[in-house]
Structure 1
Amino acid sequence: MDRDRYVDSLRALAIVLVVCGHWLITGLVRGPGGDIDAPELLAVVPWTQWLTLVFQIMPLFFLAGGHGAAGSWERQRASGGTAAGWVRRRSVRLLLPTGVYSGLVLLSVGIAAGMGVDPYTLSLVGWAMAMQFWFLPVYLVLGALTPVLHTAHRRWGARVPVVMGAVALAIGAVVVAGGLSYVGPLNYVLVWGVAYQLGFCWRDGLLGRGRAVPAVLAVGGGLAFALLVGLGPFPVSLIRVTGQQPGNTDPPSAAMLAWAVAQVGVCLLVAPAVRRGLARERVWRPVRAVAGASMNLYLWHMLPVLVIAAAFYLTGLAPEPAFGSAAWWVLRVPWLLVLGVVMAGVLSALRPLERGLSAAYERVRPDAGPRRAWTLWLGLLVCVAALSRFAVQGFAHDGRFPVLPAVGLVAGLALVLAPGARRVPLRPDGPGRRSALKGAA
């Protein structure tokens, strides 16, 4: 089956812009004693918060994810597969590279802690290597809920994301008002779930064949965002800024929801023109390469920052104009280029590992669910909890090795990766028929 090149290009674009955004706002400063610090650019230079409107396009990743998941789940249903088998295979695809990455980082943290590395430095590095993890537990949850969400989609169509958005707005209003703050995390699933669910609608043509509905989404979402930022309580930054309350990402706010809707509208408006461009092989070839490496790019993209910090900042070789000055911004160009070169080397070094993980993933049968379904759901729950802990506190909170979340991630992965049950085909006669009926009884 031919893949939709435009959908794959959205995933690639979202990852590339997120990576470039993280690199752009990461600034290193070498102190008098040789220690390295990373001031928060968005807080120190407030106008840079406007840049997040360009780099925060993860709504399009969730849109593309919903589009792809809908097609995959429909094919699984048509072939008679189970929800547990489908969720397990989708989860393994995300958790295998994440587990390897986390294991290597945790091993490094343990060695560094044993060697007596300064706790502050270790905590800063551990946070940098986990700053992208917020996305993983949300995507795992939405993947696990896909069979239920798609059932709702088949019954109620575009009304589902509308209702999800309305509930998210109500929860957001309660959180901003200062009450029941513990319900706020639900908006991680609801706000990002709106974009995911719109992916279902997009695939089934429920967002209109012309330009009217996309234009309404783009203009309506953009105006709502402008009002919520200009007249409402929300900041313009679509990335968390220390001390900003309320923020737009922790949990996702009404402003983030509005921006997500606007992005979906723009994405649909430009789709015909972009698809024509992607039909050319010379245009599609580099996009396909980036899309194929997107998971490793997302997971490992802060490693080049650490390499450059060690090679140029710890040694005092890097020029250091005043943080946020015009000269500092000029040096962002070689900074991004050097990071890109190092990242290319990292991705090249990871290719054997990537091939090994791909082979392991292919051994997970798409038509075989876990032997006991509860092990899958428990494993996913534990993985989500562990990854959420890393996303909030990093890999070395207060300079200490994170024993509990590390053990939790290993246990969760073991439960999800537990061997699946062999699917027994139903035949009109013979042992397969009898054993299947016996199992059903």
Structure 2
Amino acid sequence: MSRDRYVDFLRAWAIVLVVLGHWLITALVREPGGRITAPELLATVDWTQWLTLVFQIMPLFFLAGGHAAGGSWPRHRAAGGTAAGWLGRRALRLLLPTGLYSGLVLLAVAVCSAADVDAGTLSLVGWAMAMQFWFLPVYLLLSALTPPMHAAHLRWGGRVPVVMGVVALAVDVLVVAVHTPYVGLLNYVLVWGVAYQLGFCWRDGLLTRRRPVPALMAAGGAVAFAALVGLGPFPVSLILVTGQHPGNTDPPSAAMLAWVVTQVGLCLLAAPAVRRLLDRERVWRVVRPVGATSMTLYLWHMLPVLVVAAAFYLTGLAPEPALGSAAWWGLRIPWLLVLGVVLAGVVSALRPLERGLTALYERTGPDADLRHAWQLWLGLALDVAALARFAVRGFAPDGRLPVLPAVGLVLGTALVMLARRTAAHRPERPTTARATGRA
């Protein structure tokens, strides 16, 4: 099957909005003593929480991921491959650039800690550099669950995401009404898993076979979201705001589930027009490079904020109008432009390292079965735990180097690579015909 340009566009579009959204709501203030703080725009200027309806675009990541997995996993299985073989190669696409990024950030944290950088500042910077990491363990878990999820899709079709959504609503009742601890963690897999599962349905035509379905999804999800926000206990913000309880992202709530359905419906409605636009080579030449560097942009997009903070805020050169004022919003335009230029330089500087990672990835071999699959599963467990810890506490909790998650990430990624290299270097097993001398 030819590659769907629209799916690649969704990844690129989502990346652009994630980057712009994070940059837009990031506010920096230089205190009289020279210390830089980052007041929370969404908590300070309440109306900005409505902006998250535009910038909360993560459902598209999981939808596109499910669409892609719904093609690659059946092809791998049809060729005789196993779940471990498919997952190992897929996981490395995330783990290698993530490991490089994490290693460089942790090295910087170690240097700054040894230089007695203020613990509060280091903790804030470490959190900013890891704020996007929540996506990675969730996506790895959904990738690991792809074989049974796809098998369920083949048997029950569109009923699977419906059932997952109902279970997610039950979990949210326990979280909001009963305050059951830890059960909400299930919704990271259930709510985002609905978008992932809908990717299977989209690929197989279940969501587009009947013309009203996308419109019903968009309208129904929007009405449910409005009811849950207007009449229910949920805030409008689709990004975590300090002090809000319940929130919509930590864990994903019923309102977030409604927004997933809304966004998928809107995505399907827009598909025909956008596909016609993407058929123009001039447009595609703009979109394709963004998609090709999506992981780099996702991981590194907060580094320009630190560069600009050091260059303009620590030196006192940046004007600092009142947060949320007309002058402050006016300065968002040069702010975004400067950050974009810095990020372009970062991406350019990282190209040699990315080429090295690509070569390393290719040396792990083609999609093959694994002799010691336990290495893969243990490695992924360590990676998921380490990435989740970074997502929650950042790269410098309390201004200190997080040794255990750092070791876990290194060991986990090494085990995944070792499992892949074991498969790649395994001697080819002779077929029965070769072994017996028959042609």
TM range (shorter): over 0.9
Any idea what the Cα deviations from partners look like across 1:12-60, whole Å, max 9, x if unmatched? 1111101100000001000001110000100011110000000001101
- Alignment-derived partner of residue 212 in structure 2: 212
Letter in 1 for 2:260: A
**Shift of the alpha carbon at 1:74?**
1.3
> Secondary structure of the equivalent of 1:349?
helix
Per-residue deviation, residues 132-158 of structure 1 (Å, max 9, x unmatched): 001000000001111111111111111
Whether 1:404 aligns to 2:404 is yes
The structure-2 alpha-carbon separation of the partners of 1:425 and 1:202, relative to structure 1 and needing over 3 Å to count, comes to farther
2:414 is aligned to 414
Structure 1 counterpart of 2:72: 72
| Superposed CA offset, 1:107-128 (max 9, x none) | 0000100010000010010000
Aligned pairs for 1:191-206 within 5 A? 191-206=191-206
1:289 aligns to 2:293 (yes or no): no
Task: State TM-score, norm by structure 1.
Answer: 0.96
Aligned length in residues = 434
In the alignment, is the contact (CA less than 8 A) between 1:123 and 1:399 conserved in 2? yes
Cα distance change on mapping 1:318 and 1:433 into 2, 3 Å: farther
Whether the aligned pair in 1 keeps the contact of 2:208 and 2:268 (CA below 8 Å) is no
Q: CA offset at residue 79 of structure 1?
A: 1.0
| CA 154–51 in structure 1, closer or farther in 2 if over 3 Å, else same | same
Distance 2:157 2:429 in 1: 33
1:310 corresponds to: 310
Question: What is the TM-score with the length of structure 2 in the denominator?
Answer: 0.97
- 3-state DSSP of counterpart to 2:422: coil
1:108 alignment partner in structure 2 = 108
User: Secondary structure of the residue that 1:33 maps to in structure 2?
Assistant: coil
- Native 8 Å contact 2:161 2:194 kept in 1: yes
Partner of 2:280: 280
The answer for the alignment partner of 2:431 in structure 1 is: 427
Alignment of 1:156-171 (within 5 A): 156-171=156-171
**Residues in 2 aligned to 1:214 and 1:235: alpha-carbon distance in whole angstroms:** 25
Displacement of 1:363 in angstroms is 2.0
- Cα pair 2:89 2:367 within 8 Å, conserved: no
**Which whole-Å deviations, capped at 9, do the CAs of 1:187-223 have from their partners, x for residues lacking one?**
0000000000000000001113243000110000000
How far apart, CA to CA, are the structure 1 residues paired with 2:355 and 2:437?
38
- Aligned residue type for 2:264: V
Residue identity opposite 1:101 in structure 2? Y
**Matches of 1:178 and 1:316 in 2, distance apart?**
49
The question of whether the paired residues in 1 share the 8 Å contact of 2:222 and 2:262 is answered with yes
Alpha-carbon RMSD across the aligned residues, in angstroms, is 1.4
Q: Distance in 2 between matches of 1:255 and 1:296?
A: 30
Q: Distance in 2 between matches of 1:342 and 1:219?
A: 40
Listed as ranges, the matches of 1:20-59 within 5 Å are 20-59=20-59
CA contact (8 A) 2:237 2:248 kept: yes
**Corresponding residue for 2:230?**
230
Deviation at 1:309, TM superposition (A): 0.3
Residue type at the aligned position of 1:247: G
Displacement of 1:227: 0.2
Q: Deviations over 1:390-439 (max 9, x none)?
A: 000000001011011111111111111112323735634224999xxxxx
Query: Residues 93, 432 of structure 1: CA spacing in aligned structure 2 closer, same or farther, 3 A cutoff?
Result: farther
Of 366-375 and 310-319, more deviation after overlay is shown by: 366-375
Q: What amino acid is aligned across from residue 208 of structure 1 in structure 2? A: T
In structure 2, what is the equivalent of residue 328 of structure 1? 328
For structure 2, list consecutive stretches of 5 or more residues without a partner in the other structure.
Answer: none
Aligned-partner residue type, residue 280 of structure 1: R
- Provide the secondary structure at the position in 1 that maps to 2:236: coil
Rounded Cα–Cα distance in structure 2 between residues aligned with 1:296 and 1:326? 33
Name the residue aligned to 1:99.
99
What residue in structure 2 maps to residue 438 of structure 1?
A: none
Q: Aligned equivalents of 1:34 and 1:210: distance in 2?
A: 60
Give the superposition deviation at 1:181: 2.2
CA–CA distance in structure 2, aligned partners of residues 209 and 57 of structure 1 = 25
Structure 1 residues 426, 258: closer, same or farther in 2, change over 3 A? farther
Greater Cα shift, 319-328 or 360-369? 360-369
Aligned-partner residue type, residue 114 of structure 2: G
1:387 aligns with 2:387: yes
Identity fraction in percent: 75
